[in-house]
Amino acid sequence: MTPSNTRPNLPALAKYRGRHYLDDQDYSAEELLELIDLAVRLKALWRTRPFTPFLLGKSLAMIFDQGSTRTRVSFETGMYELGGHALYLRPGEIHLPGKESVGDTARALSVFNNAIEMRYCDPRVLTEFAAGAEVPVINGMVLTVRDPQTGKILVHGSHPAQSMTDAMTVMEKRGRIEGLTIAWVGVAEDVGWSDVLTFSRLGANVRVAAPKHSPLTDDVCRKVRANCDKWGTSLHVTDDPVDAVTTADVVFTQMWWWDEDDAEKERYMTLSQPFQVNEDLMRHAAPDAMFMHCLPAQRGQEVTDAVIDSPASVVWDEAENRKHFQKGLLLALIGIDDLPADPDLHEIGRALLS
């Protein structure tokens, strides 16, 4: 999707103002496509005008209880390029967790900021935080919560800022998502679940091969099938990575481990080994298939150098697009009160005001 194949006019965007972005499934397919359209236009504008101060004087609080390279830096530089300011807040620097309730922290940060981005291990904290916040709250990734005794999934993790960036990247490369086939191979939780939900909502067929310890859960399958029913597309779940990638236009994977201890990490790596994305596997995908990975990558584990460094790989565009998609999201959710003086900002400015 380039500016030449975006819609002729940006749609009215004021309807997004004040909304949370906790889950992209809270947005219709039409709304998600509008947000991608906005991001594509912002990226085109950025090429000639890196500094576009739509959000002059506005502030974004960013809470991270785990590390991040892309999410932290893309939100912070994105907010700067929009003329605003971003605060990077870690546990120990604010009173969450511990000295203050989640709701009180949300109220306090709402007093000082125009939006709040949150990466937090426990999705329940994000939900509670958003309920107490008086400004838009954006999910910067939450992790799956399991019962420590049984391993049963209690709450699903998600990363909808990543999955919508992935959708933007595919739109940019292929001009559409409707009718394409995506394959998710390997550990499916969090980013995988978000990707299959986002792409099915936007009209893609979905094929998944995931290890048993991190599957496409019944809950995610049900939601993906509901999305597919609207488009006449399909969900295919298999144990066989070759079956999953056959005919796929896009092949996705992600890291096999995240915060586990060494023993659990070893176990996950052994269970996930058959799901490595390598050159042999990619030969079964469509001849022009793209490879995508949210990063960070563990080269030689879930993906080989030969794939991630191949011409089929779009991982660096995918990383860059985090900033462009999130700039659009920040603009849509925070909104503007006045048309910027700069004529180059008028098209987007008018859409934001209408």
Q: Which residues bind ligand CP (CB under 6 A)?
A: 68-71, 141, 162, 294-296
| Helix or strand (DSSP H, E) at 251 | strand 250-253
**SS3 call for 261:** coil
DSSP secondary structure code for residue 10 in this structure = P
**Closer residue to ligand CP, CB minimum distance, 285 or 294:** 294
Query: Looking at beta carbons only, is 203 or 328 nearer to ligand CP?
Result: 328
Phi, psi for residue 152 in degrees, rounded to 5: -65, 140
Name the token pair of 296: 């960070």
Between 72 and 213, name the residue whose CB sits nearer to ligand CP. 72
Q: Minimum CB separation from ligand CP for residue 73, in Å?
A: 8
Q: How far is the CB of 161 from ligand CP (least distance, A)?
A: 8
Alpha helices in the chain (DSSP H): 29-48, 70-81, 102-112, 123-132, 160-174, 191-201, 218-231, 241-245, 262-272, 279-282, 305-308, 315-334, 346-353
Q: To the nearest whole angstrom, how small is the minimum distance from the Cβ of residue 188 to ligand CP? A: 16
Pick 172 or 190: Cβ nearer ligand CP = 190
CB of 251 to ligand CP, least distance (A): 17
HSE-CB for 295 with a 13 A CA cutoff: 18
Q: Provide φ and ψ at 88, rounded to 5°.
A: -95, 115
Nearer Cβ to ligand CP (73/108): 73
Whole-angstrom distance, CA of residue 93 vs CA of residue 111: 18
3-state secondary structure of 131: helix
Is-cis flag, bond preceding 296, omega within 30?
yes
Q: Residue 343 contacts by C-beta under 8 Å, 6 or more apart in sequence?
A: none
CB of 208 to ligand CP, least distance (A): 19
Q: Which is nearer to ligand CP, 67 or 179 (CB)?
A: 67
CB of 129 to ligand CP, least distance (A): 19
